C-alpha cells in the first residue's frame, strides 16, 4: 500500500506521437519503498486525476496544467497558478519560443498590466556558431 504522493514529473518528447510522459512517484511509510509509474499521452489526451486517492495531487496537477497544458479529468481546480491569466502558451513545452516578442509590465498608478513589444538587435536574435569559430583563432588563444 503506497500512501504518500511524493512528486509528479512530466517529460516532453516533442517528436513522438505520444508527446508527454507523466511519472508519479509514490512512497510507502510502512515498507519504506518508492514506486514510480508512468503514462504517455498525446497533446489533446486527458489524464485521470488522482484527487480521490491523494488530496495533494490537486496542487501538483494544477502546476502541470499551467506549465504543460495537460488536462486532468475530475480535477476541480484547473486554474493558472504560476503564470498570469493573460499569459498565452505553456512555458515548459519544447516548442515554446525562448525569446518572445512581447514583455509584460505592471503600472502601479493605473493598476493594470500591459504588453510592450520587445526590440532586439538582429544579431542577437539569430545566433550563428560559425562566428565563434572565426573569433577563436590562434591569435586569441594564449597558451
Q: Residue 127 domain-assigned?
A: no
42 occurs within a structural domain: yes
Indicate whether 86 belongs to any domain: yes
Distance CA 119, CA 95 (A): 22
CATH of residue 72: 3.30.460.80
Q: Encode the chain (143 residues) as per-residue pLDDT tens digits.
A: 888 999 999 999 988 999 999 999 999 999 999 999 999 999 889 999 999 999 889 999 999 999 999 999 998 888 888 888 877 788 898 877 766 677 788 888 988 888 888 766 555 555 555 555 555 554 545 44
Q: Is residue 25 part of a domain?
A: yes
Total structural domains within the chain: 1
List the domain range (segments joined by +) for residue 16: 4-91
In a domain, 115, yes or no: no
Per-state percent for the chain, helix, strand, coil, to nearest 5: 15, 30, 55
- Does 36 reside within a domain? yes
Amino acid at each position: 500500500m503506497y500512501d504518500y504522493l511524493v512528486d509528479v514529473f512530466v517529460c516532453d518528447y516533442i517528436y513522438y506521437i505520444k508527446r508527454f510522459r507523466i511519472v508519479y512517484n509514490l512512497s510507502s511509510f510502512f515498507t519504506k519503498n518508492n514506486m514510480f509509474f508512468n503514462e504517455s499521452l498525446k497533446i489533446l489526451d486527458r489524464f485521470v486525476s488522482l484527487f480521490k486517492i491523494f488530496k495533494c495531487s490537486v496542487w501538483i496537477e494544477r502546476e502541470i496544467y499551467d506549465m504543460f497544458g495537460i488536462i486532468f479529468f475530475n480535477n476541480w481546480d484547473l486554474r493558472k497558478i504560476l503564470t498570469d491569466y493573460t499569459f498565452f502558451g505553456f512555458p515548459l513545452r519544447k516548442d515554446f519560443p525562448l525569446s518572445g516578442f512581447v514583455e509584460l509590465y505592471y503600472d502601479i498608478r493605473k493598476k493594470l498590466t500591459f504588453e510592450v513589444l520587445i526590440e532586439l538587435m538582429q544579431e542577437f536574435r539569430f545566433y550563428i556558431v560559425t562566428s565563434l569559430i572565426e573569433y577563436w583563432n590562434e591569435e586569441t588563444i594564449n597558451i
